[in-house]
Structures are given as structure tokens and as C-alpha cells.
Chains A and B, each alone.
Chain A
Amino acid sequence: NAGVTQTPKFQVLKTGQSMTLQCAQDMNHNSMYWYRQDPGMGLRLIYYSASEGTTDKGEVPNGYNVSRLNKREFSLRLESAAPSQTSVYFCASGNYGYTFGSGTRLTVV
């Protein structure tokens, strides 16, 4: 099925560890996004990429880096994970109506 694929679905990290969240879309969208959602709250934009080769900060970029590897793939990296980064991470793509992935549930202990 066409859509946005995120990996992994679940991850537990120790404080200070690093990891990369992967996101790929097969809808030929120019724009891709990373959001985080904390319990009981709305989504907050971390980074976005309006087109291949460009990235920009969103509302909460501190502690994260991103790479737009090609038109299909947009990865999110945590260089030194902190407990405050425990959250559900959603990737999305689209210029007008967004399509979201199913999320990565990250716990930092």
C-alpha cells in the first residue's frame, strides 16, 4: 500500500545513546515532516523538508538532526538521547493534505 513507512515502531534507549529514525514515502511528495507527540498533547513540529536537499527547523528542533537523503527518505537523528525525548514520533509527507506514518514509540531511560 502506498504511504509513509516509519522504522522502527518501538525503541528503548539509554540516556546518552544515539539512534536514527527512518521515514520513507512512495507518493512522490516534495515535502516531508517530523513531529513528536507527548501524552495528552497535540503534535509539535521538529523539522521539515520542503524539497529534496533542504531542511528547516520547526517548533522544537533542539536535540535533533535530520537528513533528507533523497526525495523518498527523511531521517531523524538523536545524537545523545535524553529522557525528555521520550515521545511518539510521526513522520508525514505531502504539500497540502499530509499523510502520516504509524509512528515510532521511543522511550529513553
Chain B
Amino acid sequence: DAKTTQPTSMDCAEGRAANLPCNHSTISGNEYVYWYRQIHSQGPQYIIHGLKNNETNEMASLIITEDRKSSTLILPHATLRDTAVYYCIVRSPNNYGQNFVFGPGTRLSVLP
């Protein structure tokens, strides 16, 4: 599975959009981009995933560049409860777990 690169930490003002970038320049054609987050001491929570089209759900939007080498997770109106570590993972749907790698992620702090 392709590796990802994320900033170590980011701050965002409450009520503003949080834009979390992820680079995955070695992504292959059948690999999806997944985003999870982990709020302190809890298990990771699935947010969204996509292949090449932009995706939106009730939690967030995922923007994938046309060359698929990078993506951005957007939390449209960040709240204090969105403070968490956000993980960007690239994974083939046929790879059942062995290389589903959670790296250090981006620590997002939403500030009042």
C-alpha cells in the first residue's frame, strides 16, 4: 500500500472550515483514500473514503486531486469536539488488513 504524508499538527478556529492535507504521491490505480480520526483515548472513527471523485457525507468532504497524488479532508464548520488526530490512509480494497497502516496522523486542535 502507498504511504502517506501529513502535517504533524494544525490549528483551526471554532466555526471555521478545517482543511487537512495528505500527500500520497505513490498511490496506485486501485487504491482508495480513507480518513479516520481518533479522539483522545477512544478507538479510531471512520470518516470518509474515496477513489477519484470528490466525496461528501454528514461529517466531512474529501477532495482528491485529478492526478490522485494528494487529497484534502474538509470539516466545514469545525467544533471543539472535532479536536482529534486525523489519519489519512491509502489502501487497496483487496488487502485485508496487513498493510492498513495508521501513521502518526495530524493532530487538529480546534480553538475557541
Contact = CB atoms under 8 A, between A and B. Distances in A.
Interface of A: 4, 31, 33, 35, 41-45, 48, 50, 56, 58-59, 88, 90, 92, 94-103
Interface of B is mostly: loop
Interface of B: 32, 34, 36, 41-46, 49, 87, 93, 96-98, 100-105
Given A98-B46, A103-B42, A35 B102 contact: yes
Contacts, number: 58
30 contacts: A4-B43, A31-B96, A35-B102, A42-B87, A42-B101, A42-B102, A42-B104, A43-B44, A45-B97, A45-B98, A48-B96, A50-B96, A56-B97, A56-B98, A58-B97, A58-B98, A59-B101, A92-B43, A92-B44, A95-B93, A96-B49, A98-B36, A98-B44, A98-B46, A98-B100, A99-B46, A100-B45, A101-B43, A103-B41, A103-B43
